């Protein structure tokens, strides 16, 4: 039994060849070119960087900003384990210390508004924050000052 002629690279049945080039290719090339130059790909319409409210003036973070951006969750998880299993509170990487330093002066929180410290970066990175399902996102220091 012989295979169909088109399987061997010969003409398809009926002897018709598919046309290449011509107007169809020109239209396709134009559409690709237009898509690449559209505002979605332009340099001035990139996703805006997060707006981050500054930390409390006169404070120094426990690690450089580059280290905290990359590793803050590792530090917080390690501190969580130390606190839960060893009873160690108020250590170098405590969530409470982060909140006290980074809470917004307007909301007294790190997660109440889009520009608050945690929310701004986590929204930008499309990462869900679940810390505050159990923990408060408000700084007791700022909250007391706001109620007076």
Q: Where are the alpha helices (DSSP H) in the chain?
A: 23-36, 65-86, 95-102, 117-124, 140-147
pTM greater than 0.75 (yes/no): no
Q: Name the residue among 81, 84, 121, 80 with its Cα closest to residue 102.
A: 121
With a cut of 90, say whether residue 103 has pLDDT above it: yes
Least confidently predicted of 18-32, 101-115, 119-133: 18-32
- Domain residue spans of the chain: 65-147
3-state class of 138 per DSSP? Answer: strand
Alpha carbons 119 and 112: distance in angstroms, whole number: 8
Residues 39-55 have pLDDT tens digits of 544 455 688 888 888 88
pLDDT at 21 over 50: yes
Look over the chain and give the mean of its residue pLDDT values, rounded to a whole number: 79
């Amino acid at each position: 039994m012989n295979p169909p002629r088109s399987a061997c690279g010969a003409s398809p049945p009926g002897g018709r060849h598919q046309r290449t080039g011509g107007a169809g290719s020109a239209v396709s090339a134009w559409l690709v070119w237009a898509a690449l130059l559209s505002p979605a790909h332009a340099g001035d319409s990139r996703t805006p960087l997060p707006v981050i409210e500054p930390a409390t003036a006169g404070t120094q973070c426990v690690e450089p900003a580059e280290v905290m951006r990359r590793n803050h969750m590792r530090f917080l998880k390690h501190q969580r384990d130390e606190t839960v299993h060893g009873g160690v509170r108020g250590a170098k990487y405590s969530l409470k210390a982060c909140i006290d330093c980074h809470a917004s002066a307007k909301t007294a929180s790190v997660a109440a508004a889009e520009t608050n410290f945690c929310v701004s970066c986590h929204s930008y990175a499309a990462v869900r924050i679940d810390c505050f399902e159990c923990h408060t996102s408000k700084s007791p220091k700022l909250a007391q000052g706001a109620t007076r």
